[in-house]
Each structure stands twice: as structure tokens, then as C-alpha cells.
A and B are shown apart, each in its own frame.
Chain A
Amino acid sequence: MTERKDAEAFPKLKLNVNHTEYTVAVQPDTPLLWVIRENLGLTGTKFGCGMSICGSCIVHVEGEAVRSCVTPVSEVVGKRITTIEGLSADGNHPVQKAWIEDEVPQCGYCHSGQIMGAAALLAQNPTPTDADIDDAMSDILCRCGTYQRIRRAVHRASQIMAEGGQKK
């Protein structure tokens, strides 16, 4: 029998999530997704496939969209991580506003990932074309089929940003 290690023996890792410093004791290869969800209690980021196919787990690391289900937590120590809970102070990021205006979600499960994906796209390309949206968003899956609205809402978010960003 292999020697038993206790969970307490895990190394302590420092994480910066949504501008808050956390210290977690987990196995370093644990996917960021599960640390966010289980250790930090931020359950807005979702588990969908565990293989970087569906995008439900997208968070921002240094502003880039990253699939947290395949990102070992040790790789993001010291980096700036943003989850859906930290995207805006009050749910008023232009993408969130557009998502509400265009009534995008149905079951809603994939939409943390959709919104984080769209926000990362717009941060790099504030006026995406349909083709840009296709390229950036097609690997974020939605089983309810809200794609037509996602496309519309990304354009709308772009417009909201142009009109003055986050102010209500």
C-alpha cells in the first residue's frame, strides 16, 4: 500500500482572485476550476466537460480567457484571476448588461463561460464582426441553443462599451 498523505500536507498556494488574496492548501495539479468552486466557494464558474471543449469553465487570467478545467492551479499562482463573480462590481459589465437586455440565457449553465469569453473578446477587439464572434465564441457550447442571442448580445455589448462603458 502506498503511503497515505494527509490533505493537510498539501502545499499552500497563494491566489489572487477577483482582487482578493487567498491561500489554499491543495495538490498543485488540481485544476483551477475545482479550487475556485470548492476551496473559494465561487460556484459561478461551471464544470461542463473537464477537457477544455465546452468553455463553461472560462475565467480570465491576466485578462485572457482561460479554461480553468485544464489549468493546474500551480500555473496561476501570482497571476490576476477573474471569475464571473468579479467581472463587475454590480453585474453591470457591458456584456452582462447586453446579456440581460437581449435575454440570452435559458438554463443559464454555460453563460458564465459565454460571458467571460465575450468579455475577453471585446477587451481585445471592441468592435467584432460576425466572423470575429464566430472565431472567438464557437468553442463555447450551449445546449439550449442561445447562439443567435449570444451573437446579438456581443454586438450590443460592443455598442454599450462605445456609448460609455460601465456606467448605468
Chain B
Amino acid sequence: MTGIINVSRRDFLKTTATIGGGLILGCSLSLGPAEGAAAEGSAGPATLNAFVRIGTDDIVTIIVTHSEMGQGVYTSLPMLVAEELECDWNKIVAEAAPVDPVYNHTQWGVQATGGSTSLTSEWERLRKLGASAREMLIAAAALDWKVDKKTCRAENGTVIHSGGKKLTYGQLAAKSANMEVPKEVRLKDPSEFKIIGKPVHRLDTPEKTNGKAVFGIDVNIPGMLVALVERPPVFGGKVVSFKADKAKAVPGVKDVVQVPSGVAVVATGFWPAKLGRDALEVTWDDGPNAKLSTEAMREQYAGLAKTPGMVARKEGTPQQALAGAAKTLTAEYEVPYLAQATMEPLNCVVDLRADSCEVWTGTQSQTADRDAAAQISGLKPEQVRLHTMLLGGGFGRRGNPQSDFVSQAVHVAKAAKSPVKVIWTREDDMKGGWYRPMWYDRIAAGVGENGNLVAWQHTIVGQSVAAGTASEPVFVRDGVDETSVQGARDIPYDIPNILVDLHTPKIGVPVQWWRSVGHSHTAFVVECFLDEVAHAAGKDPYEFRRKLLDKQPRHKAVLELVAEKADWGKPLLEGRGRGIALHKSFDSFVAYVAEVSVSASGEVRVERVVCAVDCGRVVNPNGIEAQMEGGIAFGLTAALYGAITLKDGRVQQTNFGNYPLLELREMPKVEVHTVPSTEAPTGTGEPGVPPIAPAVANAIFSATGKRIRRLPIRAEDVKKT
């Protein structure tokens, strides 16, 4: 994160004609002779970084600066441009942006996708771009017709004169490139929106149903070899020596090379590379993590949780209030390491030459990955071209703080002296670290005589995902990583005495972003424990929450909506339970009511989930619904199955057999309800995940009287006794 780059709009928006005679509206940050409208056939398009290209064929290409990993930005972001551009939605093509500062996230100062921020990053910028292009097209038409601009309007990819004359954007594209970029544009009043807020079909669905969508793993370049890397079985391990004879004897194996992350077997294809790697003999120095075990860590964490940590929030006099409360409750909660387990295993294609390096990969972190490739190849960043391919899932893993999968591929290409695609097998991916941290929480509450919640003390133990990375200065303040306490420090309920503190043990397991980051664990702890408190206070868990939310109208509104839609309070069938949970993350508010049935043997089935979401102004209702469904499934996988464990320094999970994902037959019926809002839109990629585990755990309590205080949910914790 290099800070925010501010560029005034006048310097920012530029225009040029394409070689084919279309319009490119884009931006240039290089204040050199390349500025301004370039002459036709010049290097204009190369120096001008396009955001919108309008071709003479009427095709409107929108360059998307955020990575498409399923969350729908190749549709939602073009919608913002199209709303103001008044173009024909059927003529829109979304294209991944190359790496350049002009494509930086508007708040982060680097090109990256995460934190459910794509819409908030682009809400203003893309609408202004669309409006500017529209004004230039209108100006070009007015000039052509020798009429006043005010008598012309733009509609569905054409400019229409009040007298009835019409020209398509394609016909106007070349001429509009000579128009001045408007200094100011008026953005539509939301009441005028034609696209924003409407259920728009994703632009990328057809290619994702006919095999044509190109993910990173699908890239094929001339002369490319395929490599698999044997990495140390223990995090931080090192190669002592290796014998490559048997690997090299496998037909198709071309080379065996050592790289910083391990030993790469380079072959004509995946299968010979795999057979070669199977035959490779490596002697490892396991290093300091050789004895690491999650069992031992759990004991360490449980001990730490009983001691005061770094204070993240303190209000009132929590200790005294607890001591003086009519009733106190204490509980310990724990959740394991989790793998992102994207369906597309990690991979990266690199073509390294003397004076250039080309990288094709699905990444959430373009600037950092490009810079890493430059550093390893000894080139300047501008000599590296990174192509962002479709991501077969990201969930945080493809925004690695050390650019691990890109760095590794550049190293392999360098050592093998060949264009190369490095593919991670599922096992490599699963055992490869960079997990959601394991967490252990100890939490206490005090309830007054009247059943009011008077004190809350929450101690969190777990690794920091930001410590030691480039984002440490952004997230870590006074020893507290914001991402460790998010969702706990900002607990929305009105409690007079609060203490939230944090222990950040240093453990040799690499950790990083995992869809919803810290919220994935804090929502579970806070929302389950609040349910315990409500029960102890003899209150209905919905009413108990609602009464504590008088100062939080948006929280309260989603909670009320979900309760209404889920028929909260209505009797359920025997053996069923209903649970409620509410959580705000990434500025979006989500509440769930889950209905579960529990078998005698303790098997949990989630039957139905009712969702209420407030993500500000709705951009694409289809997208929101899909993200809520997806967040529920992703969160249910964690609630029911997810656990990465270590023994003797080795990760014990290898593939979907021992790290199962939710299956179709287990998918509950999901109903999504949106709270109407005029606030600026916020993201939905992550906010759907956090509240599902607590909603289900609370439903299990209502069905069985058993409290779930650790994930994944185990039959032994559920079984009625």
C-alpha cells in the first residue's frame, strides 16, 4: 500500500483515436509528450491507458481494474459505466486491465481486489468516465449536424437529435476522439437510473458454460513447459540435497531445477512433470517448525486466553462491572486454520526473456505480483507485463503478501530458461499454507438484575495476517491487527462496559486473507455468545439483540427484516431449531435466520436460510443474491467441515477427501431479502460469510439445548444426551 494517489480530473481523463478509428477514453499519469489526444496511427493507444474503448463496430469495451473471481465485477463495474454512457448493454465487452498506476484501486494506491471494495472503489470513477464519454459522443454528433449540443441526447448506443437524426456510437467514435474531455460532468440522479438497481445478467455466463472462458491454468504459450514444484513438507523447511536421476529418466521430463521454494520438475506436460516429481528424491532440513502441532498450539492459546492481551477497545469499567453483575457467563470458543481451497488450484505462466517478463495468472494483487516478478527477473517493473486471467476462485488466496505463486513461477522460468506454467496440484494447494488463522477466544459477560447486558470482556488469541507484510502499517496499530479484532472490537450492541483484547502469538504457519478475514471468526464468537447471554437473561435472542441496537439503525433494520421474513417465533416441526445471527462486515450488514434439523446421532442438516442484507444502494440484485447464496455455502463448509490441522509440522489435509466442501445435497433453501437504501453501494463478496456459522450454531441450540463453541461442528457436540 503506497498511499493514495490524487490526480485532478483535468489531468486524469484523456482521449485518443484508436488505430482503427474508434474512441479511447482513458487516463495517463505520465506527464510527458505523450499527453493529450494522439494523432491517428501514433503510439497513442500504448501511452494512454484506456478505461473505455468504443469501436467503429459499436462495441464498447470496458476495462475492468478489479479481478473477476466469481463475485461479478466484470458485470457490476461495466454497469456503472453503461449507466452514464447510455450504451447498448448487449454491445459491452469487459476486459481485464493491464498493470499501471492509473488502474490502481481508488483507495489503496495499488492495483488489487479484496475487502469487498470493488464497487466502493469504482462507484464515482466509472460513472464519471461513462458520463464523459457520453458528452463527447454528443458533442461529436452536434458538430457533425451543426446543431446545439442541447438538442441532442444519448440513448441505447446512439445520439439522437430532436429533429430525428441518429448516429450510432460506432459511427461517432472516431470523431468524438477529437472532442475536448468535459471538465465537469453531471452524474445522474438515482431516480434516472436505467441499469443500476436492475437485475442484470452477468456478461461472463455464456463463456463459462461453453468451455471458452480462459482461466490462468488454461493459458498456453509457444514453447511452454509445465512444472510442478516439490516443496518442503514443513513450513520454513529447506532443501539439503536432491537426486534428480529418476525424475529425469521419466519420459517427457526436461529438467529438474532448484528454486527458493523447493525443487521444480519441468516437463512437456502435467503428467510427466507429476511422474517426475513422484520420482524425485529430496532430503529436507525441516527447520524450526518440525514439531509444530495444532494440538499443542491449542493448549498454548487456551493459556494465553486467560491472561490480559493488548487492549483493542476499552469502555467503562468492564472488570468491575463483571464482578458486580447479578449473573456472569464465561465461555471459550475455538476455530481452526482454514484453506481457501479455490476450485482452480494455484498456477502461473511466465515467459521470461532478457529484456521482458510476461506473466499470465489469476491474481488479486497485480501491482505486488508485477513488482515481485520484476525483482526476481532483475527487470524494471515496466518491463513486466502481467495479464490478469479469470480466477477460478480467489477468496483471498490469490492476493498473497509474498506473491508466492507468481514468484515461484518466475524463479522456475529463470532456472529452467524456458517459458513455463507452474501448476499446483490440489495437494500442493491444500498443504501450501496461507490459511485463515486458527483462533481461540475467551469471552465473559455480565447481566444485571433486570436482564440487561452490563459488561462484555472478549480476549482473542491468534496470528496476525498483516504482521510482517506490506500491509502491516495499514492494519496494525499499537500492537493490534485490525483484521484480528474486526467484528469484535466494533460489536454493535449497546453495552456500557467493554473490553476487547488480543494476543498475537508468532507461529510458523503462513496465514493470510480468507473470505471475510477476521469476521469469519469474530461473528461466530460474538453472535453465539450473545445468544448464550440472551438465554441466561431469559430473553428471546431476537428481541434481546433488537433492544441493544437502538443506536444502530442499519443493523436493526436487517435484523427486523430477517425476523419478519423467517417467521421468527412461529413454532417449528419437532427436532428442528431456528437460530439468528447478525454481522456487519466491509460496510455491509447481513442477518440470517437458519433452520436446522438434528438427527439422533447428532447429524445436522441446514434446511433453510433466510437472509436480509443492506449493502447500500443495490447495483445488481442478481449479483447480491448470488453472493449471499455463495457466502452461505462457503460459511457452511467452514461450519460443518473445514479444518486444517498440523502434526509434527505436517499439514494433515491433502485433498477434498479430508477437507470436504459442502455438497449440493446439503445446500439449504436460501431466500435473500434486501433492505432498500440510498447509501453508496458496498460489497457483498465477503459479508455473506460471517453470520452463517453462528446462525446455524444458535439453531442447533434451539433444537438440542447444546451449545456449539468450536468449529467445525462435531456430532459429539450436537448429540442430545
Contacts and interface: CB of A to CB of B under 8 A. Distances in A.
B656 A50 contact: no
B206 A2 contact: no
Contacts of B661: 54, 141-143
Contacts of B665: 134-135, 138
Q: Which of A45, A85, A111, A148 has the most CB of B within 10 A?
A: A148
A54 to B, nearest CB: 6
B606 to A, nearest CB: 12
Contacts of B664: 133-134, 137-138, 140, 142, 147, 150-151
B205 A27 contact: no
A20 to B, nearest CB: 15
B180 interface: no
B376 interface: no
A120 to B, nearest CB: 15
Contacts of A139: 663
18 contacts: A34-B270, A34-B271, A47-B423, A48-B426, A51-B655, A53-B655, A100-B201, A104-B209, A109-B392, A109-B393, A133-B664, A141-B656, A143-B395, A144-B343, A145-B667, A147-B667, A148-B667, A151-B664
Contacts of B271: 26-27, 30-31, 34
B40 interface: no
Given A143-B342, A143-B661, A146-B629, A106 B245 contact: no
A168 interface: no
Given A106-B72, A151-B667, A2 B634 contact: no
Given A83-B211, A100-B209, A108-B204, 6 more contacts: A37-B270, A48-B426, A107-B343, A107-B390, A141-B343, A145-B630
A110 B343 contact: yes
Interface of A: 1-7, 9-10, 26-27, 30-31, 34, 37-39, 41-51, 53-54, 56, 83-85, 87-88, 91, 96, 99-100, 103-112, 115, 133-135, 137-151
B680 interface: no
Interface stretch (B85-93, B248-256, B306-314): B248-256
Interface string B335-370: 000000111110000000000000000000000000
Interface stretch (B31-39, B215-223, B695-703): B215-223
A43 B218 CA distance: 6
Nearest to A97: B209
A14 B636 CA distance: 45
Contacts of A47: 217, 270, 345, 423
Nearest to B663: A138
B613 to A, nearest CB: 15
Contact of A144 (B206, B214, B215, B633): B633
B210 A44 contact: yes
Nearest to B654: A51
Given A7-B268, A10-B251, A53-B655, A44 B211 contact: yes
Interface string B266-279: 00111110000000
A2 B275 CA distance: 14
B582 interface: no
Given A2-B246, A150-B664, A103 B343 contact: no
B220 A43 contact: yes
A91 B251 CA distance: 38
Contacts of B602: none
B251 A6 contact: yes
Interface in B385-423: 390-395, 423
A104 B630 CA distance: 11
Contacts of B202: 103, 105
B212 interface: yes
A111 B211 CA distance: 9
A106 B220 contact: no
Contacts of A3: 249
A99 B209 contact: yes
A145 B205 contact: no
B213 A145 contact: no
Given A85-B211, A103-B626, A106-B626, A54 B245 contact: no
A4 B249 contact: yes
Given A51-B657, A56-B343, A146 B626 contact: yes
A111 B269 CA distance: 24
Contact of B251 (A7, A54, A56): A7
Nearest to A10: B251
A51 B206 CA distance: 28
